[in-house]
């Protein structure tokens, strides 16, 4: 597999961690109470840690003295390959939790497979990240249950969030060209194979949370090709501000 | 209805071989959450390998007003301590 | 209890503190001791929580991934410190919710420094270096304070804070050694944060009301002016090392006294901000109140869920 293809494959995984980490970091200082604030920030820190491992590897593959920060901050919107789900805003705590849960179930099964990658670096990152993501899933799954089987208000809010985000779940299982090359090279994971188990697991927990499984039939896609929702531009404007306003400086 | 999350006491074992030690307290709605919160709040810098949580209201504490009757009677039982017994210096391994 | 009995208890109590004994939650204590501690510890906790906001303002815009995780971890630590301190305060028989109520209604105070805005990235460096630097000077003696839970919380806080100031100084160092634009950014931040940091030690000794009692209870070991002097003396050489200029034309080394002389603090500004008229008082309070109110349904849901689970468990047992 050529370096440029491998880099594209890495973006497809790492950009999810970066963008979701960024979204969660926006909440630091604004959580429903201190304990939950601290917990969400821990998840954000885990995701940024993973991002850095992937991007340091990508930078090395790119050569030309590229750094993790070039990769993180200096691409244009179309060059980010995260799924649409993770860039959705923190509309309220229910959205934050639903987004986290719907991503965590996928993320964990992706990593469980990626730890068998023939690429030693990816395989090592996956092994380390699995422990973190298992905890994320435990946290988000528990909260889905609390909100679902909590009060009338919380049930309504989490149901609404799950319904609204459901249309972004199918994209998790689409294969890009980079994915296909990586799968052929035994480096990447064929995520299309993870789909049935994903919905089974998600639906099981939603039922336990006394929630209704959405019947959405129309799914959104595009993130993996760099065609994002309108939220993404603002997120990047914020995240890239310093690097864009003061180019070529060390911080 | 009591809406505030109750208070929990957190005990952490820093490493195997050591006892659990009281680290502090926090609020949580249930035991599961108390454990998770304790992990997030009190072991951010790898301070622990095991956590106990107990809802604060379940702890029965002695009253400092009774400290006299509770703890002072032990003070004159010097014969419980090895230094109470005089042995010549020649005696080894004791 | 008769007045004479109380007086006797008070004398014994003061004697215990003088002997360096710690006071623990269930021990008898004078009502004034309890109230003073609730006030000071909660004020300290509120400062940690409000303090998350100015720095949190730059998490999403941090210029590198390394800076981003460091800042995020630092702001998270402040939440942790607030939590430790609220917990210490709760041992005095007041709930965290009541303490929040005092904060949100404006009854409780917090450190005024956090009512200043963070307008450039260099402000994050300046806060770490100066504000955390000043805070450490204020806090280290509290590790030895008379109230056990407060002292223990402070030991944890001080231990964790050791990276905060270094984080800030490293940012300043990078800027000061960077491009002219970066150096200017650093100088500008120093100019704006220096005087508010000086104010963190509170009014001058002749204006300060609580000092004597606080000294006795070991809530304080040195006076405001002594601590301020210590701050100046340790910070000026650090600024020199950065090649930045202190925004104080009266600042100069006093050979005779072996310390720096410095200019007059703008006490009008100090009292303005304390009274709620600083640049960001309203924004800070609004952000806290908003987070708390928006979080109510979440907290309620968790309690309701916990109750349902408990009931289920009981049903199964029957």
Q: How does pLDDT run across B39-90, given as a tens digit for each residue?
A: 999 999 989 999 999 999 999 988 888 888 888 888 888 888 888 899 998 9
Between chains, do A30 and C287 touch, taking CB under 8 Å as contact?
A: yes
pLDDT of residue B73: 87
- C284 contacts C115 by C-beta, under 8 angstroms: yes
Residue A233 lies in a domain: yes
pLDDT of residue C221: 85
Between chains, do C303 and B2 touch, taking CB under 8 Å as contact?
A: yes
Between chains, do C305 and A55 touch, taking CB under 8 Å as contact?
A: no
Cβ-based contacts under 8 A for chains A and C: 134
pLDDT of residue B2: 60
- Please write the tens of the pLDDT for every residue from A112-150: 999 999 999 999 999 999 999 999 999 999 999 999 999
pLDDT of residue B77: 86
* Closest partner CB to C65 (pick from A72, A145, A147): A72
Show the tokens assigned to C162.
């050791």
Q: Report residues of chain A scoring pLDDT below 70.
A: none
Between chains, do B40 and A39 touch, taking CB under 8 Å as contact?
A: yes
- Compute the 3-state secondary structure of chain B and give helix, strand, coil in percent, each to the nearest 5: 35, 20, 45
Interface of C with A in 107-136 (CB under 8 A): 121
Residue A250 lies in a domain: no
pLDDT of residue A118: 95
Between chains, do A45 and C294 touch, taking CB under 8 Å as contact?
A: no
Among C5, C29, C87, the residue to mutate for chain B (most B Cβ within 10 A) = C87
* Closest partner CB to C97 (pick from B4, B30, B65): B4
Backbone angles phi, psi at C253, to 5 degrees: -70, 130
Q: How far is CA C260 from each of CA B65, C99, C257, rounded to the nearest angstrom?
A: 51, 40, 8
Between chains, do B27 and A35 touch, taking CB under 8 Å as contact?
A: yes
Residue A241 lies in a domain: yes
Identify the DSSP state of B24. E
* pLDDT at position B1 over 70: no
Rounded CA separation A215/A206 (Å): 13
**CATH number of the CATH domain containing A183:** 1.20.1260.10
Tally Cβ neighbours within 10 Å of residue A238.
13
Between chains, do B5 and C300 touch, taking CB under 8 Å as contact?
A: no
Q: For chain C, how long is the longest CA-to-CA vector?
A: 82
Quickly list H helices, chain A: 3-25, 34-62, 68-73, 84-87, 93-114, 120-148, 152-166, 177-184, 195-208, 231-245
Strand partners, A131: none
Between chains, do B36 and A146 touch, taking CB under 8 Å as contact?
A: no
C180 touching A, CB under 8 A? no
Between chains, do C69 and A48 touch, taking CB under 8 Å as contact?
A: yes
Residues in chain A: 251
Cβ-based contacts under 8 A for chains B and C: 50
Residue A251 lies in a domain: no
Among B25, B27, B33, the residue to mutate for chain A (most A Cβ within 10 A) = B33
Q: Taking CB atoms and an 8 Å cutoff, what residues of chain B touch C93?
A: none
Q: Report residues of chain C scoring pLDDT below 50.
A: none
Show the tokens assigned to A161.
């969030």
pTM for this entry: 0.95
Buried b (16+ CB within 10 A) or exposed e, A55-82: bbbbbebbeeebbbbbbbbebeeeebbb
User: B51: distance to nearest CA of chain A, Å?
Assistant: 15
* Closest partner CB to C300 (pick from B3, B30, B33): B3
pLDDT of residue A177: 94
Q: Taking CB atoms and an 8 Å cutoff, what residues of chain C touch B64?
A: 24, 26-28
Structural domain count of chain A: 1
Reference C128, options C178, C173, C188, C86; nearest CA is: C173
pLDDT of residue A216: 84
pLDDT of residue C25: 93
Residue A167 lies in a domain: yes
Domain range for A72: 3-213+221-245
């Amino acid at each position: 597999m050529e370096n440029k293809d491998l880099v594209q494959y890495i973006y497809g995984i790492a950009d999810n961690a970066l963008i979701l980490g960024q979204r969660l970091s926006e909440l630091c200082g604004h959580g429903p109470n201190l304990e939950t604030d601290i917990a969400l920030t821990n998840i954000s820190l885990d995701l940024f840690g993973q991002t850095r491992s992937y991007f340091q590897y990508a930078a090395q593959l790119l050569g030309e003295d590229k750094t993790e920060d070039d990769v993180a901050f200096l691409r244009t919107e179309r060059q980010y390959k995260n799924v649409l789900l993770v860039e959705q805003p923190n509309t309220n705590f229910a959205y934050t939790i639903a987004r986290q849960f719907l991503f965590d179930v996928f993320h964990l099964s992706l990593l469980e497979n990626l730890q068998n990658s023939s690429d030693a670096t990816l395989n090592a990152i996956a092994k380390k990240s699995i422990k973190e993501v298992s905890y994320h899933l435990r946290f988000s799954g528990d909260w889905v249950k609390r909100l679902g089987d909590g009060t009338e208000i919380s049930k309504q809010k989490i149901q609404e969030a799950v319904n609204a985000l459901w249309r972004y779940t199918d994209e998790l299982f689409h294969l890009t060209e980079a994915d296909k090359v990586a799968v052929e090279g035994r480096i990447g994971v064929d995520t299309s194979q993870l789909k049935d188990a994903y919905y089974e697991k998600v639906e099981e927990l939603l039922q336990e949370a006394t929630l209704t499984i959405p019947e959405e039939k129309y799914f959104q896609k595009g993130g993996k090709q760099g065609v994002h929702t309108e939220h993404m531009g603002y997120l990047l404007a914020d995240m890239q501000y310093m690097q864009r306003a003061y180019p070529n400086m060390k911080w | 209805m009591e809406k505030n999350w109750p208070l929990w006491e957190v005990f952490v074992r820093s490493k195997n071989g050591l006892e659990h030690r009281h680290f502090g307290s926090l609020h949580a709605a249930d035991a599961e959450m108390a454990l998770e919160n304790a992990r997030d709040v009190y072991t951010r810098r790898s301070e622990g390998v095991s956590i106990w949580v107990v809802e604060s209201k379940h702890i029965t504490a002695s009253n400092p007003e009774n400290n006299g009757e509770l703890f002072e009677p032990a003070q004159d039982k010097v014969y419980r301590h090895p230094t109470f017994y005089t042995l010549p210096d020649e005696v080894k391994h004791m | 209890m008769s007045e004479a009995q109380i007086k006797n208890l008070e004398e014994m109590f003061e004697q215990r503190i003088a002997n360096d004994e710690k006071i623990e939650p269930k021990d008898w204590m004078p009502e004034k001791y309890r109230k003073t501690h609730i006030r000071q510890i909660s004020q300290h906790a509120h400062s940690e929580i409000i303090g998350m906001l100015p720095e949190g303002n730059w998490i999403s815009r941090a210029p590198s991934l390394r800076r981003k995780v460091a800042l995020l971890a630092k702001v998270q630590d402040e939440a942790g410190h607030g939590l430790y301190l609220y917990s210490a305060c709760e041992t005095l028989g007041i709930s965290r919710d009541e303490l929040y109520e005092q904060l949100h209604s404006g009854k409780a105070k917090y450190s005024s420094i956090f009512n200043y805005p963070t307008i450039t990235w260099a402000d994050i460096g300046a806060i770490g270096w100066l504000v955390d630097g000043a805070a450490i000077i204020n806090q280290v003696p509290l590790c030895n304070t008379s109230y056990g839970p407060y002292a223990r919380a402070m030991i944890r806080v001080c231990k964790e804070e050791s990276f905060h100031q270094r984080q800030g100084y490293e940012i300043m160092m990078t800027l000061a050694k960077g491009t002219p634009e970066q150096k200017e950014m650093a100088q500008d931040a120093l100019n704006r944060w220096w005087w508010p940091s000086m104010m963190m030690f509170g009014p001058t000794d002749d204006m300060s009301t609580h000092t004597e009692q606080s000294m006795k209870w070991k809530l304080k070991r040195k006076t405001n002016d002594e601590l301020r002097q210590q701050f100046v003396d340790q910070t000026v050489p650090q600024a020199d090392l950065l090649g930045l200029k202190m925004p104080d034309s009266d600042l100069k080394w006093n050979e005779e006294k072996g310390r720096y002389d410095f200019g007059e603090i703008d006490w009008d500004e100090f009292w303005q901000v304390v009274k709620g008229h600083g640049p960001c008082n309203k924004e800070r309070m609004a952000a806290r109140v908003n987070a708390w109110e928006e979080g109510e349904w979440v907290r309620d849901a968790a309690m309701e869920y916990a109750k349902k689970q408990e009931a289920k468990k009981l049903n199964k047992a029957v």
